[in-house]
Amino acid sequence: MSASALPKSVDGMLELLTSRGYLAERSLATVAYLSLRMGRPLFLEGEAGVGKTEIAKVLSAALGRKLIRLQCYEGLDVASAVYEWSSAAQMIAIRLAEAAGDTDREQLSSDIFAERFLIKRPLLQALEPDVAGAPVLLIDELDRADEAFEAYLLEILSDFQVTIPEFGTIKAPQPPIVIITSNRTREIHDALKRRCLYHWVDYPEAERELAIVKSRVPDISAKLSQQVVRFVQALRDQDFYKSPGVAETIDWATALTELDARSLTPQMVGDTLGALLKYQDDIARMQGDTLQKVLKEATSD
């Protein structure tokens, strides 16, 4: 992995993403470029499976930066997101000091709260200098963490520093490239959004989705890829609880290629529908007439 320079224009950003197989809309490339230029976190919202997380991975690979990922969940706290003290190592240090007859309390307390006893979690790691340049920090599915954690993040994202009571303040020499994603299982507070550049990632249009399928599943035949994309696009018009995302399209195309499919047949679609739809209610709705209709639309020339 070698570090490469930041893109100098929106077109440069588009090229950079395309070179890693991420076919982005121009608007997404624009905000990504701006977030690098302005040093602002990029806040991406959209349905699951439209490529929000992927862009962080692609950026880190294309820029040759380290990717640090913080997966959010409901019980996330400072100890697992930022830092923790290694108590076991500290205890040993205390015992050793005791055995050596060292009784200076001041000395002891500064010794055992030293950096070597600090366990760094993702957010602290992201503030550390790196030879390849500041890392890409991906804060994934922020909507899953609770509001208390969101408030904590506010401080880190505005000043890029963390204060540890026993140790002092750690400030990033160069702020990381921050990408925050949310599936909107709840609204994120405006105070946090205000510090970020906001972008809604939508399902791609048919043409772009076709290009994505072709680049991700190179073995797929031209005819099948076209039918797959048409079928998925038609499904998104249906009233489902969870419409298939791009990730599902790629999964399905891969599954069909693995099964040596040349074109879509009712049997083939019925057997593999689980790659696209993830709710039993949705699958049940797709039986019979609806399936026939969508399939007919997708396979007609």
From 4-12, 58-66, 207-215, 286-294, give the range in contact with another protein by CB under 8 A: 4-12
From 56-64, 87-95, 204-212, 290-298, give the range in contact with another protein by CB under 8 A: 87-95
Packed helices 10-19 and 26-38: angle between N→C axes, nearest 10 degrees:
110
Among 219, 239, 289, 301, contact with another protein (rule: CB under 8 A): 239
Spatial neighbors of 280 by CB under 8 A, at least 6 apart, are: none
- The CA-atom distances, in angstroms, between 276 and each of 75, 116, 211, 231, 286 are 30, 48, 19, 10, 11
Binding of another protein by 236 (CB under 8 A): no
What six digits make up the tokens of 135?
A: 């890392």
Beta strands in the chain (DSSP E): 42-45, 67-71, 83-85, 118-120, 136-140, 161-164, 168-171, 177-182, 197-200
Spell out, one character per residue from 128 to 167, where the chain touches another protein: x when CB under 8 A holds, - when not.
------------------xxx-----------------x-
Binding of another protein by 121 (CB under 8 A): no
Compute φ and ψ for 138, nearest 5 degrees: -105, 115
Residue nearer to another protein on the CB measure, 195 or 214: 195
Packed helices 246-258 and 206-216: angle between N→C axes, nearest 10 degrees:
50
Element housing 163 (H / E): strand 161-164
Rounded to the nearest whole angstrom, what is the least distance from the CB of residue 111 to another protein in the complex? 10
Burial of 65 from C-beta contacts in 10 A (0-12 / 13-18 / 19+): buried
CA distance 37 to 44: 17
From 86-94, 119-127, 203-211, 227-235, give the range in contact with another protein by CB under 8 A: 86-94
Tracing tokens 């609204």 back to the chain, one arrives at 187
CA distance 176 to 179: 9
CA distance 85 to 104: 21
Tracing tokens 């699951």 back to the chain, one arrives at 48
Rounded to the nearest whole angstrom, what is the least distance from the CB of residue 113 to another protein in the complex? 8
Question: How big is the site for another protein, counted in residues (CB under 8 A)?
Answer: 49
Other Cβ atoms closer than 10 A to 188: 20
What six digits make up the tokens of 64?
A: 């040759």
Which residues from 259-298 bind another protein, rule CB under 8 A?
Answer: 281
Rounded to the nearest whole angstrom, what is the least distance from the CB of residue 28 to another protein in the complex? 8
Residue nearer to another protein on the CB measure, 58 or 118: 118
Please name every residue paired with 138 in a beta bridge, in sequence order, or none if there are none.
69, 179
From 80-88, 133-141, 270-278, 290-298, give the range in contact with another protein by CB under 8 A: 80-88
Among 4, 18, 90, 272, contact with another protein (rule: CB under 8 A): 90
From 51-59, 194-202, 207-215, 224-232, give the range in contact with another protein by CB under 8 A: 194-202
Among 8, 171, 262, 293, contact with another protein (rule: CB under 8 A): 8
Among 97, 132, 255, 273, contact with another protein (rule: CB under 8 A): 97
**Using CB under 8 A as the criterion, which residues of the chain lie in contact with another protein when the complex forms?**
8-10, 26-28, 30-31, 33-34, 37-38, 40, 45, 74-75, 77, 84-85, 87, 90-91, 94-95, 97-98, 103, 105, 108-109, 112, 146-148, 166, 184-187, 190, 193-194, 197-200, 239, 241, 281
